[in-house]
Amino acid sequence: MPNLGIEVLFEGSNFERLLGGLLVTIEISFISIVIGTLLGIIMGLLRTLDSKPLRLVLRLYLEAFRIIPILVWLYVVHFSFSPLLQIDISGEATAILVFSLWGAAEIGDIVRGALESMPKHQVESGQALGLSSGQLYRHILIPQAVRRMLPGSINLATRMVKTTSLVVLIGVIEVVKIGQQIIELGVIKAPNASFWVYGFIFILYFLVCYPLSRLSKRFEHKWQN
Amino acid sequence: MNLDWDFIMESLPLYGDAMWLTVKLAVIAILLSLILGLLFSLVLFYKVKGISAIIRAYVELSRNTPLLVQLFFLYYGLPKVGIQLSEFTCAIVGMTFLGGSYMTEAFRSGIEAVGKSQLESGLSIGLSKVQLARYVILPQALAISIPSLGANAIFLLKETSIVGAIALMDLMNVAKDLIGMHYKTAESLLLLVLAYLVLVLPLSLLLSWVERKVRHAEFGN
């Protein structure tokens, strides 16, 4: 086997193109996490309110994302929105929409959990000490809530980065798609390309996700109590 | 919206076949993952030299990479170095590779939750390490792990939606084909969503019921 095939990764601009594709993946996850977090905070606050119908609706919203696979959501939005709304929605826009809504549901649940786990007596003690409600939030509630939310949120971010690999299936040009293009182009010159290209993409994902999951574990241990 | 009911009735068998494929895949992959997870978590518990490090590396590698890329590597990459697996085998291997690490973590956290005093008591009454695992740790660890094992099972069942990418005729592929051939988008997607509801919802309800039971058992009343 004179041609190992690993050279294909470094031929021409292949290396940069693959990294560029990874960037698309990261971009979609990042935008979705930002939008999802903002919506999720609102949703989490709403879910602690005392309105039964509101709780039910938001719970159903969360369960819809937990029960139906994300790929199904991508298909549903991708195949039905463009014809329905008579506008051409790109794969990226579809992906950001679906991932943001998913993020909002999951972050909403994390925020709700953090808020509900806060012991009531802390608020009461704070008030007894004469703290204003602004001070109460600033010094007591928010720092603790953030601690409780961080591990789960970072975990969600890792899951999102991994799940964005699916957007190739609705036609987004990201790292897997670029890998496929490189493999197709080199089909005669580098017949082993798929082994190296997919292996490389595998490692790329690991390099992005591993630090995130380490971070989440670190926070979990540090702030366990 | 006007739905074409004849079309829906005609496509039902296709969805039925695909659901059957999903169930087969999920059941095999979940069982294999459970076996791997139990074995690996015990290896980690006993700190078996050498093997523990390999298993830790495997867990991190598998948890931090997407199933789609794992499947592509197995299906398109491995044949280039002489390992050719069928689509179905690839799907099983990929899903077990993914599920094994999740199940290992679930068992491990259950084992870690068993009180240290219990281990010491067990050792002090002369139990061997194997007896300790068999009679003291595993029964308790299993009860603690059940919610996360169940969550992983649901996760794996949903992950089967990806196997269409390596040419298996799963629900996603059936829906995509029907949309491409007949332009019956609404009908195809409706059936797709319903199929997953039928598959996942019962398991999800069962899990939340079990979780309530386990919690009850933990804290009494």
Cβ of residue A72 closer than 8 Å to a chain B Cβ: yes
Smallest CA–CA distance, residue B107 to chain A, in Å, is 17
Cα–chain center distance at A73: 14
Q: Exposed e or buried b for every residue in B83-93, given b needs 16+ CB within 10 A?
A: eebebeebbbb
At A174, give phi and psi (nearest 5°). Answer: -125, -160
CB atoms closer than 10 angstroms to residue A10: 9
Cβ of residue B176 closer than 8 Å to a chain A Cβ: yes
pLDDT of residue A147: 86
Residues A179-202: what's their mean pLDDT? 86
Is B221 a residue whose pLDDT tops 60?
no
- Cα A90 from Cα A84, distance rounded (Å): 14
Residues A121-126: what's their mean pLDDT? 88
Q: Which residues contact A58 (CB under 8 A, 6 or more apart)?
A: A43, A46, A47, A108
Beta-carbon separation of A198 and B179 below 8 A: no
Q: Which residues of A touch B178 (CB under 8 A)?
A: none
Instruction: Give the rounded percent of residues in chain B with a pLDDT score beyond 70.
Output: 96
The residue among B33, B26, B72 whose CA lies nearest residue B196 is B26
- Cα B171 from Cα A77, distance rounded (Å): 16
pLDDT band of residue B216 (cuts 50, 70, 90) is low
Q: Which chain B residue has the Cα nearest residue A67? A: B200
Is A154 a residue whose pLDDT tops 80?
yes
Q: Which chain A residue has the Cα nearest residue B1? A: A84
pLDDT of residue A221: 84
Is A1 a residue whose pLDDT tops 50?
no
pLDDT band of residue A203 (cuts 50, 70, 90) is very high
More confident residue, B180 or B2: B180
pLDDT band of residue B168 (cuts 50, 70, 90) is very high
Beta-carbon separation of B80 and A68 below 8 A: no
Residues A138-160: what's their mean pLDDT? 89
pLDDT band of residue A223 (cuts 50, 70, 90) is confident
Cβ of residue B109 closer than 8 Å to a chain A Cβ: no
Q: Which chain B residue has the Cα nearest residue A73? A: B193
pLDDT of residue A93: 92
Q: Which residues of B touch A80 (CB under 8 A)?
A: 185-186, 189
CB atoms closer than 10 angstroms to residue B176: 18
Beta-carbon separation of B65 and A206 below 8 A: yes
pLDDT of residue B217: 60
Is A71 a residue whose pLDDT tops 90?
yes
Measured CA to CA in angstroms, residue A106 lies from A38, A49, A59 at distances of: 12, 18, 11
pLDDT of residue B72: 95
Instruction: Give the rounded percent of residues in chain A with a pLDDT score beyond 90.
Output: 55
Site from A22, A62, A72, A78 to mutate, B interface, most B CB atoms within 10 angstroms: A72
The answer to whether ipTM exceeds 0.85 is yes
pLDDT band of residue B7 (cuts 50, 70, 90) is confident
Structure tokens at A68: 């139906």
pLDDT of residue A31: 96
Is B108 a residue whose pLDDT tops 70?
yes
pLDDT of residue A34: 95
Cβ of residue B202 closer than 8 Å to a chain A Cβ: no
Smallest CA–CA distance, residue A49 to chain B, in Å, is 23
Question: Mean pLDDT over all residues of chain B?
Answer: 91
Instruction: For residue range A7-66, list pLDDT tens digits in order.
Output: 778 877 888 999 999 999 999 999 999 999 999 999 999 998 888 999 999 999 999 999
H helical segments located in A86-192: 91-117, 120-128, 133-135, 142-163, 175-185
Instruction: For residue range A106-122, list pLDDT tens digits in order.
Output: 999 999 998 888 888 88
Where do we find the tokens 């940069």? A16
pLDDT band of residue A145 (cuts 50, 70, 90) is confident
Cβ of residue A59 closer than 8 Å to a chain B Cβ: no
Is B1 a residue whose pLDDT tops 70?
no
Cβ of residue A63 closer than 8 Å to a chain B Cβ: yes
